[in-house]
Structures are given as structure tokens and as C-alpha cells.
Structure 1
Amino acid sequence: MRLYGRMVADGEWRDYAIDHMKDRAVFSVFRRASEMPLYRIEKNPKFTRRQGAYSVVAAGGVVLKRGHDLTQVIKVLEKKRHLRVVGG
């Protein structure tokens, strides 16, 4: 939630949703509530022993990072935060 708070304060994220499905839990973040989520942070116990239960998935469905430790997995979003286009 700390990362979410910083991204909201920066104006990059505006809304979120939490979904509890039969096989996983998903925290989605949105730029606007009417859009598709920018990122989904998923916990899927099916992958716990292999790749790790946690994953960050981009809007297009690409898995950006997967692992056993949520703190390490969401660091991929911290790196994205520092990459900004500066217009001249």
C-alpha cells in the first residue's frame, strides 16, 4: 500500500480494485477507473513451489516479474516509476 500511496500522490495511479477469485487474489491499479488496469499484482498459490506465488502483470498480459517474495516482485514497479518521458 505504501507504493500505491506514492503513485497516487505523484498522479500516476488514481484507482484500484481487489478481486478474490477461486484460484487467486488480484490487486489491480488504474490510471482512470474507466480503463483497463495498468498493472495487476497477483497471488496464485498454484505457482508457489515453482515460480513463486506473486507476479506483476502489465496491461497487455505480459508478466513483468514473478517470485516468492512480494516485496521483491513489486520492485519492478518502482523501477518503472523512475522512467519518465521528458518533453522539450
Structure 2
Amino acid sequence: MGTVTPFPKVAGGPTQVAFDRQELTRILDLYGRMVAAGHWRDYAIDLGREAATFSAFRRATERPEFRIEKRPSLRQRQGMWALVGEAGQVVKRGHELGPVLAPVERRLLKLVEE
């Protein structure tokens, strides 16, 4: 009863990619502003082995308008952050989250002005 058996460690690092608190706060802040502007209505978060994805929907039954992907395996190459459009095209890619979210934030400014 006094024996503690540790879980086996997985070689090769973590088994799941996730957003940290600051990243998720930045993404959800943008999502909340888009909801307040009446543009987005739903979201989904997918945490997998290769990537963590935040998908924003105009309506729940459609394809996501934008996907924000975090792929740590691309950190040393073109950047681990990607903004993917509705048709699957990469809109913006980078090493930091702020510049990758800039096209959506510009769209928000246009929505508020209208």
C-alpha cells in the first residue's frame, strides 16, 4: 500500500499540443469582439498530436470561416502559427500570434465602421 508506481514516460515529448493561457485569452478576446459585431456565432477547439486548432464559424452548420492553427513542429521553419481561410488556403503564417491575427482584426475594424 505504500508503493507508488509512476506512469510510464512517453519518449518524444508531449502527446498533445495545446494553447497556453495567454494565447487562448488573445484568441477568445478576438472571438468575443467578432461575436459582438455580429459576425461569428460559434467556435470549436481541437487539440491533437500535431496541432491545436481554434475554428470560428459564422453559423454552426457551415465550414469554419477562419482556423487559427498552432503547429510547434514548424517553429524553426515558417512559424508555428497559421491563419487558414474557409477554403483551406493559408492567409497568414508567422512566429508570433499577434501578426497572424492582424487580417481578422482589420476585418473587425471594417465591420464596426459599416
TM-score (norm 2): 0.70
Question: For each residue in 1:27-68, what CA deviation from the matched residue of structure 2 results, as whole angstroms up to 9, or x when unmatched?
Answer: 000000111100000001111011110000000011110001
Uncovered stretches (5+) of structure 1, i.e. residues with no partner: none
Deviation at 1:15, TM superposition (A): 0.3
Name 2:82's counterpart in structure 1.
Answer: 55
Question: For each residue in 1:3-47, what CA deviation from the matched residue of structure 2 results, as whole angstroms up to 9, or x when unmatched?
Answer: 111100011000000001220000000000111100000001111
Indicate yes or no: 2:69 matched with 1:42.
Answer: yes
Indicate yes or no: 2:1 matched with 1:3.
Answer: no
Choose between structure 1 and 2: higher strand proportion: 1
Aligned equivalents of 1:9, 1:50: Cα separation in 2: 36
Name 2:104's counterpart in structure 1.
Answer: 77
Uncovered stretches (5+) of structure 2, i.e. residues with no partner: 1-27
Which of structures 1 and 2 has the bigger CA Rg?
2
The percentage of counterpart residues that share the same residue type is: 49
Choose between structure 1 and 2: higher helix proportion: 2
Give the paired residue count.
Answer: 85
What's the RMSD between the two structures over aligned residues?
1.3
Runs of 4 or more above 6 Å deviation: none
